[in-house]
Chains A and B, each alone.
Chain A
């Protein structure tokens, strides 16, 4: 009787380590690589004498709903997965989170964490998030066979060259850009283009300071032009299409490339395609900065749980845990002092970009959820029905200062 197994198992474990303290962890890691990576953390935590009690709910809004209900009921879990940045700011302001200065110092991670991450893991001056992994978002994944077929051996380094390549693909009967119209995907593509034209400093300043001058710059308008120009190169039926259905077009060698985050590697892997052989990953044409998003955990304040929370924070910041975790999950470690030799070529490029400081924070790490949502809505409206680019720019400024 399988359903009874976990209870038995839990009883056995409980009697075996009678004093092991439990910490309940809310997260949304449920798919293959995510679960395998999570197991690394669980094992490392167990080695320190603490049990991870899993509360995993797929989908950010679902996990958030369950978590906030627990907070309202006065019984939050011991840790919750977050993207670093303003997501948990309100909880920190209300003193409902435990800062993690001690485990941060104990882990020796402080010197190995890039400046952008070190800044965004703090809320009101104190570190609250324990970051574990970085996803590079501004990749272009391309089919090597299609690329060879149309006579290219590497990604052009500027947008004009890029569109020339798309034209060649179109000519040869391929879908130049596998595009998926999910709102967050469309948004990422626009930001990817925007970053390449503005550069990381102007891009970050524009978001964090709602800088009007940068929005009104020519470079911004140029990004809108390029984004709009993509309409001529995407496949059929992109509205509402899931990103992995678009990735499948690249895997089937029907499409040349897809703008995508490094999670797409999981789809290639599942189809037995190898990075650097069957498909390639290139950073955006243009400046070559990388848009990143950082996974972490924060720790709701709870009576008598601080030791377990500190232990979990230390585990998450541990270089070997980060190495093994990210190998399985397809992302790369937050720490720059981790041995990257076992990682694939895309992760190595990403990690190196980060070490060089050639990264910019995804808008989720900078803007609060409300402004974020306004911008996502706007970009998708524009994609669905393009209109005057300068009007769009004005609307963008409105959304940014919403």
Chain B
């Protein structure tokens, strides 16, 4: 057994999925495929990392694959702290806590709300449920920019414009197409009998959601959490328009660093700033692996 230790992390031992076929050529082909794929994915990251450690003179040589002559970390420092704005001199670190303050509540609320709505649409199906679902999914196909002016007016009228609660609400609203789609389709795969049985046992509307459905939603909660966290963390337009000057997210600083029209372009700082901005979602991906295990649904639903 090649990768036995993994099982220790699983919740249920019997639900381990495909048996590893021990045909050696197959395993070699498998790893070969993964290696080639990984190389394709890593290539741009390599260029970014190499560039970020170069001096500007070296960058100007335009040899993108060349390793830096020396490990020059000044671009990383400049990206994080010393990019200057009048009255403040911080680089992207200035927006870091704002991004945290926006992303954490927006992600938590939107994922839970998505699961809840998905649960209702999938199991309870009150009158008009399909119409509502159609509207929500369709909204996902409208370019966000189109919403900006009307929603700005509505939020100004509600005194929510330019506030932290305002931007969180905006994210939750515009996340609905993604989260509802994810969870409704996920629940669509869960047998209806299970739900009927719970109702016959007398479980109520909220109880079925909280004690039965939510615990079975493990992998999808992780996936939705990851996607939402990434999307909101990387959002630029909504943060720029709705958050207000006090709450501007990190991406606004990132844009000010990398999006240069007339000024001199510092590619090394741009790369470092981009990677620094991405560090938190990247860490989240890595950590989320702990929960990304097999077996929760399988055992509970069909076992």
Q: Which chain B residues lie closer than 8 Å to A5 at the CB level?
A: 88
Minimum CB–CB distance from B188 to chain A (whole Å) comes to 38
A244 at the interface (CB under 8 A from B): yes
The answer to whether A58 and B97 touch across the interface, beta carbons within 8 angstroms, is no
Q: How many residues of A contact B (CB 8 A)?
A: 49
B162 at the interface (CB under 8 A from A): yes
Q: Which chain A residues lie closer than 8 Å to B60 at the CB level?
A: 248, 251-252, 271
A271 to B240, CA, bound (A): 33
Contact partner of B56 (CB less than 8 A), chosen from A24, A38, A270, is: A270
A5 to B89, CA, bound (A): 9
A308 to B265, CA, bound (A): 34
Q: How many residues of B contact A (CB 8 A)?
A: 43
**Minimal Cβ-Cβ distance residue in A for B240:** A66
Minimum CB–CB distance from B47 to chain A (whole Å) comes to 14
| Given the contacts A34-B262, A56-B256, A57-B252, A65 and B240 also touching, CB distance less than 8 Å | yes
**Minimal Cβ-Cβ distance residue in B for A5:** B88
Contact partner of A57 (CB less than 8 A), chosen from B87, B90, B148, B256, is: B256
A32 at the interface (CB under 8 A from B): yes
A11 at the interface (CB under 8 A from B): no
**Minimal Cβ-Cβ distance residue in A for B62:** A248
Interface of B is mostly: helix
A38 to B256, CA, bound (A): 15
Q: Which chain B residues lie closer than 8 Å to A3 at the CB level?
A: 90, 93-94, 96-97
A74 at the interface (CB under 8 A from B): yes
B236-276 interface bits toward A, Cβ cutoff 8 Å, 1 = contact, 0 = none: 11001110010000001001111111111100000000000
A223 to B71, CA, bound (A): 49
Q: Which chain A residues lie closer than 8 Å to B156 at the CB level?
A: 72-75
Minimum CB–CB distance from A30 to chain B (whole Å) comes to 4
A271 to B93, CA, bound (A): 27
| Given the contacts A2-B81, A72-B153, A73-B155, A263 and B262 also touching, CB distance less than 8 Å | yes
A261 to B155, CA, bound (A): 41
Residues of A232-286 whose CB lies within 8 A of B: 242, 244-245, 248, 251-252, 261, 263, 266-267, 269-271
B61 at the interface (CB under 8 A from A): yes
B84 at the interface (CB under 8 A from A): yes
Contact partner of A6 (CB less than 8 A), chosen from B61, B88, B261, B262, is: B88
Contact partner of B265 (CB less than 8 A), chosen from A6, A38, A244, is: A244
Q: Which chain B residues lie closer than 8 Å to A342 at the CB level?
A: none
How many interface contacts (CB-CB < 8 Å) are there between A and B?
Answer: 122
| Given the contacts A69-B148, A69-B149, A38 and B86 also touching, CB distance less than 8 Å | yes
Q: Which chain A residues lie closer than 8 Å to B90 at the CB level?
A: 2-3, 6
A15 at the interface (CB under 8 A from B): no
A47 at the interface (CB under 8 A from B): no
A5 to B37, CA, bound (A): 45
Q: Which chain A residues lie closer than 8 Å to B229 at the CB level?
A: none
The answer to whether B264 and A267 touch across the interface, beta carbons within 8 angstroms, is yes
B193 at the interface (CB under 8 A from A): no
A43-64 interface bits toward B, Cβ cutoff 8 Å, 1 = contact, 0 = none: 0000000001111111110100
| Given the contacts A57-B252, A73-B161, A271 and B237 also touching, CB distance less than 8 Å | no
The answer to whether A6 and B153 touch across the interface, beta carbons within 8 angstroms, is no
Residues of B131-155 whose CB lies within 8 A of A: 145, 148-149, 152-153, 155
| Given the contacts A66-B241, A244-B265, A72 and B86 also touching, CB distance less than 8 Å | no
| Given the contacts A2-B93, A54-B86, A244-B265, A73 and B259 also touching, CB distance less than 8 Å | no
Contact partner of B264 (CB less than 8 A), chosen from A10, A24, A53, A244, is: A244
Q: Which chain B residues lie closer than 8 Å to A24 at the CB level?
A: 245
A68 to B240, CA, bound (A): 12
Q: Which chain A residues lie closer than 8 Å to B84 at the CB level?
A: 35
Q: Which chain A residues lie closer than 8 Å to B255 at the CB level?
A: 57-59, 62
B14 at the interface (CB under 8 A from A): no
Residue with the greatest number of chain A CB neighbours at <10 A, chosen from B62, B81, B241: B241
The answer to whether B245 and A31 touch across the interface, beta carbons within 8 angstroms, is no
The answer to whether B262 and A69 touch across the interface, beta carbons within 8 angstroms, is no
The answer to whether A55 and B263 touch across the interface, beta carbons within 8 angstroms, is no
B85 at the interface (CB under 8 A from A): yes
The answer to whether A72 and B149 touch across the interface, beta carbons within 8 angstroms, is yes
A42 at the interface (CB under 8 A from B): yes
Q: Which chain B residues lie closer than 8 Å to A55 at the CB level?
A: 245
B201 at the interface (CB under 8 A from A): no
Minimum CB–CB distance from B98 to chain A (whole Å) comes to 10
**Minimal Cβ-Cβ distance residue in A for B259:** A58
Q: Which chain A residues lie closer than 8 Å to B96 at the CB level?
A: 3
10 tightest A-B contacts by CB? Answer: A31-B263, A73-B156, A263-B262, A58-B259, A266-B264, A30-B256, A69-B241, A6-B88, A58-B256, A270-B264
25 pairs of residues in contact across A and B, judged by CB atoms under 8 Å: A6-B90, A24-B245, A28-B261, A30-B263, A31-B262, A32-B264, A34-B262, A35-B85, A55-B245, A59-B259, A60-B261, A62-B236, A62-B259, A69-B149, A69-B242, A73-B152, A73-B155, A75-B156, A75-B161, A245-B62, A248-B60, A248-B62, A263-B262, A266-B262, A269-B264
Starting from the known contacts A32-B264, A39-B86, A244-B264, 4 additional A-B residue pairs (CB-CB under 8 Å) come to A3-B97, A6-B94, A30-B85, A65-B148
Q: Which residues of B contact A (CB under 8 A)?
A: 56-57, 60-62, 81, 84-88, 90, 93-94, 96-97, 145, 148-149, 152-153, 155-156, 161-162, 236-237, 240-242, 245, 252, 255-265
